[in-house]
Amino acid sequence: MPELPEVEVVRRTLAPRMVGDRVARIEARAPALREPLDAAALAGDLEGRRIEAVRRRAKYLLFDVKGGRTLALHLGMSGRLTLAEAGGAADELAEGAADGAAGGAAAEAAPGKHEHLVIHLASGRRLRFVDPRRFGLAFSLPTAAIGADPHFAHLGVEPLSDAFDGALLKAAARGRRGPVKPFLMDAKVVVGVGNIYASEALFAAGVHPRRSVARIAPARWRRLAAAVRETLERAIVQGGSSISDFVDGEGRAGYFQVTFAVYDREGLPCPRCATPVRRLVQAGRSTFYCPGCQT
C-alpha cells in the first residue's frame, strides 16, 4: 500500500505523538516477515529508551531511540501501522480500521490476524504493525551504522531533496538502455517512486513509459524530475489533510483522497485529452498511460 507519500504521511502523523515517549515493551509475534523478527534484539535495543526522532529514508520509517539505536520498519505491500491511544475505546477504532477484511467472524482471535509487532509505549499508547502479505520488515540497528547497512547502502537519492533533478536522472541513465518507467522505479537511482506514482509522474511529464532512457534529452529529464517531485508532494499534502481527522496512525485513508490521472484507469478517458487510458506490463508491473499525451 505504501509508496513514499503514504510512508511520509504516516511519519508525520506518528512523530508528534511518539517523540519524547519511551518504549516500554516490544511484543513480537505472528510468522516471520520478509526476514525473521529478532525479538530479543528488538527488546534489547529499544526497551526502556526514549524516542528521539521519527525519520524516513526511502520507504523505511526510522525510530531513533536514546542510546544510539534505531528501529527500522518497512511496510512492504500490505503493511499498516496504527497508533492506539491509551485506554480501550480508541483501541477498537484502530482495530476496525486496520482489519477491513475480517468482516463476518466475530470470533476473531484477540490479537488480530497478521499482527507482527506491538510496541508498547510508556504513555500507554501502542503502535501496531500489521502486514498480511509479509513483505514488510522490522529490525533494529545502530543509528550511526544505517548508511552502511545492506538495506540502505545502495539506495539512491531522495526525490524530495535538492539533489534530485534532471541532471541527476540524466547522469544515472548514462550507459543504460531500458525503458524509462522501470528506471524511475529503480531505488538505486531514486528512492520512493513506486508503481502508482511512476505512472502518474510519467503522465504529468508527457513521457511515454516505454521510451528508452537513452533517448531522453536534458529538457525532458528536467520535466520528469519536476513531475516526480510535484506528484509526490501533492500526494503527501492530500494524504496529510485527509488523515488529520484520524485518531490513529492509519495511512490507508490517504489513498482514497488522492485521485489518479491514469493509474488503474484503463479504458477511461485521459483527463487532459480524453483518449482512453491504456495499460501495459513492464517488469511484471502494470503501467498506465495516455497514448495521446505521452511520447
Partner DNA sequence: CGTAGACCCTGCGCGC
Partner DNA sequence: TGCGCGCAGGGTCTAC
Task: Please report, as ranges, the residues that interact with DNA according to CB under 7 A.
Answer: 1-3, 6, 31, 34, 58-59, 74, 76-78, 100-102, 113-114, 132-135, 151, 175-179, 182-183, 186-187, 191, 194-196, 213, 252, 255, 283-286
When the beta carbons of 50 and 285 are compared against DNA, the nearer one is: 285
Provide, rounded to whole angstroms, the least separation between the CB of residue 6 and DNA: 7
2 is catalytic: yes
Provide, rounded to whole angstroms, the least separation between the CB of residue 103 and DNA: 7
CA dist 235 and 15 (Å) reads 19
170 is catalytic: no
Residue 129's closest CA among 39, 256, 21, 196?
39
Query: In the chain, what is the straight-line distance between the N-terminal and C-terminal CA atoms, in Å?
Result: 29
User: Which entry of 11, 57, 59, 170 is annotated as an active-site residue?
Assistant: 59
When the beta carbons of 2 and 166 are compared against DNA, the nearer one is: 2
Residue 127's closest CA among 115, 139, 135, 114?
115
Provide, rounded to whole angstroms, the least separation between the CB of residue 195 and DNA: 4
3 is catalytic: yes
When the beta carbons of 23 and 235 are compared against DNA, the nearer one is: 235
Provide, rounded to whole angstroms, the least separation between the CB of residue 47 and DNA: 27
Provide, rounded to whole angstroms, the least separation between the CB of residue 123 and DNA: 30
When the beta carbons of 6 and 95 are compared against DNA, the nearer one is: 6
When the beta carbons of 1 and 18 are compared against DNA, the nearer one is: 1
User: Which entry of 2, 5, 159, 209 is annotated as an active-site residue?
Assistant: 2
β-bridge pairing 115-121 and 69-74: unpaired
Catalytic residues: 2-3, 59, 285
